[in-house]
Amino acid sequence: MEEIVEKYLKTFVWKAIDLGLLREMDRVYCLNRLMDRLALDVLSDRVKSFQNREKYRLKDLAEFLIENAKKRGLLEDSQVEADILLGQLMDSVMDRPSLIDETFWQLYREDPKKATDWFYDFSQTVDYIKTDRIAQNISYKHQSKYGEIDLTINLSKPEKDPKKIAELQKIKSMDYPKCPLCIENEGFRGNAGHAPRANHRVIRLKVLEEDWGFQYSPYSYFNEHCIFLSQTHHPMLVNGRCLAKLLSIVEQMPHYFVGSNAGLPIVGGSILSHDHYQGGRYHFAMEKAKVLKSYTWPNYPEVSVEQLYWPLSVVRLRSVHKEQLLEASEKVMTDWSNYSDPSQHIFSKTDGVDHNAITPIVRKKGEAFEMDLVLRNNLTTSEFPDGYFHPHPDVQHIKKENIGLIEVMGLAVLPARLKREIKALTKALYQGTEEVDAKHLNWLKDLKASYQPESLEEAEAIVKNSMGDIFIRVLEDAGVFKQTNEGQLAMQEFVESLGAHLLDLDQETDEEAI
């Protein structure tokens, strides 16, 4: 074995001990298992680990060993194979799931925040959370009339390798694990069609006596972006029990918000086949949105009702009485599922197909629970085949995918193609020489009519600001009651149809407010 390789191998193990991942008693065993996995020969007592271990990240040490394995022909020079080996190397210095779970709940008994802090740090250390790749994302904030929203061009997820796509055809079974959220991912080696999860650990928890899991998102979009998932693979069902589960989760982790995608296509998320929710420790623009109208609700006297100034239509309920809040939330959900308003092009059903849905988000505010119920509708028409309350064709050059939970709250997750496309657009706006994609020509024309930037930096700022404005339009397209006088009065009619009463007529929306 080369001396430098041996140094890195020993430092990798000692670093894991320094970080508390591995017990010193297990050092020799771990070294021997790593030598076997990396097809390395005998170690020498003469070669020591690096003295200044604090300078090295565990991942950096592992990546040196992976590059050396490539040079020796131990694995193909591909991102898939490198990721698989990285997961296996990390797994070799990690405790088994039962011990990770035990540590989490020991810390939880002291303080829930202390437990999640530890698990979040652990998930980053072992590179389950892909910190380096997430850092590649282009993220910025945009000041809009609704508040400060977030935009992210998602560059973190690796591109599909065409060779590996071809190899998918050779894999005998693609139904294990059934999906990326299944508990069976824990420790899974991975392959060309399924992300490696050898270094994956899931915390077990009970949600309304059901067996659920808690993990972080490997490609997080916001602080402590986490996933709560059923240990049984079954479809999402957004109903009253779903709302009760969300309340149960924030009771257990009061420092996190938790929300669910709507349960229908177009207005739902990308994975509807596995029951799960998303949460985290982040304050989105929607949470801080201005209140347009407040209501009392005689049938639920302990519940406050608010109508928000937000591009999507949000009914916010708040109460210290969890059971009454749940009953009120179920009432909103049930009534909305059957509510139609032709004046706003809202039809709950056509040809026996349901269209209305709810995107629910729950937070704990002191002793009170806060439930945001975002009203959704997935109706399609001949004019808008992708969805009437979906990004319309004139803004799909920025975002044409579903508007899911994260976007609803005010964070744009935009496709990687935009990095290249807005770079070309910026140059074209400033220099007038760069060719841009045909889908952006109208955008460029509008920008040129309004701006004459004096530098490339100024042009870039103009394009980014415009992209934020377009994303706001994307969200407004998804709103069922528009932020106009007519739209908000129509929303008031819906809220009053529930049995609620407008608290203060002076709050009624006027043209200047919206």
Tens-level pLDDT at each residue, the chain (514 residues): 789 999 999 999 999 999 999 999 999 999 999 999 999 987 888 889 888 899 999 999 999 999 999 999 999 888 999 999 999 999 999 999 999 999 999 999 999 999 999 999 999 999 999 999 999 999 999 999 999 999 999 999 765 544 544 554 455 556 899 999 999 999 999 988 889 999 999 999 999 999 999 999 999 999 999 999 999 999 999 999 999 999 999 999 999 999 999 989 999 887 889 999 999 999 999 999 999 999 999 999 999 999 999 999 999 999 999 999 999 999 999 999 999 999 999 999 999 999 999 999 999 999 999 999 999 999 999 999 999 999 999 999 999 999 999 999 999 999 999 999 999 999 999 998 778 999 999 999 999 999 999 999 999 999 999 999 999 999 999 999 999 999 999 999 999 999 999 997 554 444 445 5
> Residue 23: how many CB atoms within 10 A of its CB?
12
> Are the C-beta atoms of residues 472 and 496 closer than 8 Å to each other?
no
Asked if residue 53 is part of any domain, the answer here is yes
Q: How wide is the angle at C-alpha 295 spanned by C-alphas 346 and 257, nearest 5°?
A: 80
What is the value of pTM for the model shown?
Answer: 0.93
Gap between the Cα atoms of 270 and 261, Å rounded: 9
The reported pLDDT for the residue numbered 165 is 45
Residue 316 falls inside a structural domain: no
pLDDT computed for residue 490 by the predictor: 98
The confidence score (pLDDT) of residue 2 equals 86
- Report whether the peptide linkage leading into residue 235 is cis, meaning its omega lies within 30 degrees of zero: no
Q: What would the DSSP string read from start to end of 22-74?
A: S-GGGHHHHHHHHHHHTT-----TT----S-GGG--HHHHHHHHHHHHHHTTS
DSSP line for 356-406: EEEEEEEEEETTEEEEEEEEEE----SS-TT-TTS--GGGTTT--S---HH
CB 7 within 8 A of CB 49: yes
Distances (CA, A) of 102 to 99, 109, 129, 280: 5, 11, 21, 22
**Structural domain of 124:** 3-131
Q: Is there a domain that residue 26 lies in?
A: yes
For residue 319, being part of any structural domain is answered with no
Total structural domains within the chain: 1
| Residue 200 φ/ψ, nearest 5 degrees | -95, 135
pLDDT at 51: 85
* Alpha-carbon span 82 to 397, nearest angstrom: 34
**For residue 344, how many other CB atoms are within 10 A of its CB?**
20
In a domain, 405, yes or no: no
- 110 occurs within a structural domain: yes
What pLDDT is stored for residue 157 in this prediction? 74
> What does the alpha-carbon distance between residue 123 and residue 216 come to, in Å, rounded to a whole number?
7
Considering the domain boundaries, does residue 447 fall inside one?
Answer: no
Residue type at 345? H
CA distance 15 to 234: 40
58 belongs to a structural domain: yes
